[in-house]
């Protein structure tokens, strides 16, 4: 069993983040929290749940210094890698769209200039 400070140290976060997770995810974490003489302890399974909760939106999860010890962690790691790859692909697509937008703007200017010069030629005749 671990104290809140130990959990925070193991996960490289501050104690406030651990307490916030305990409040926000009370339904999930409550079975793994034990209070003895005004000291809060978290079980081993609770530590695993904290890892999932605290690192769910963070790349730190993949860089944390511990071994993958159950199938859920492995699944999470694979999903995270796929998510990061998709984010990279989305950024490439966004960049390409921006480049195409610039080309369209330039072509629109060229067309406008062509129309203007055509109109000017028509007036001169």
> Per residue in 100-113, pLDDT tens?
999 999 999 999 99
Partners of residue 34 on adjacent β-strands? 41
Q: Rounded distance, CA 2 to CA 17, Å?
A: 16
Residues 48 and 108 in one domain: no
Residues 55 and 2 in one domain: yes
Number of domains in the chain: 2
* Whole-number pLDDT of residue 59: 47
Whether residue 65 has pLDDT greater than 80 = no
Whether residue 81 has pLDDT greater than 70 = yes
Residues 7 and 61 in one domain: yes
Q: Rounded distance, CA 65 to CA 115, Å?
A: 65
Residues 1 and 56 in one domain: yes
Residues 94 and 117 in one domain: yes
Q: In which domain, by residue range, is 120 found?
A: 70-125
Partners of residue 36 on adjacent β-strands? 39
């Amino acid at each position: 069993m671990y104290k809140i400070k130990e959990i925070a140290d193991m996960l490289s976060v501050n104690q406030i983040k651990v307490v916030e997770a305990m409040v926000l995810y009370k339904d999930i974490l409550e079975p793994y929290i034990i209070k003895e003489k005004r000291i809060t302890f978290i079980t081993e399974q609770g530590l695993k749940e904290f890892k999932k909760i605290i690192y769910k939106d963070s790349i730190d999860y993949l860089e944390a210094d511990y071994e993958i010890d159950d199938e859920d962690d492995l699944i999470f790691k694979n999903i995270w890698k796929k998510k990061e790859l998709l984010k990279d692909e989305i950024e490439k697509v966004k960049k390409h769209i921006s480049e195409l937008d610039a080309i369209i703007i330039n072509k629109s200017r060229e067309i406008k200039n062509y129309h203007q010069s055509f109109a000017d030629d028509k007036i001169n005749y």
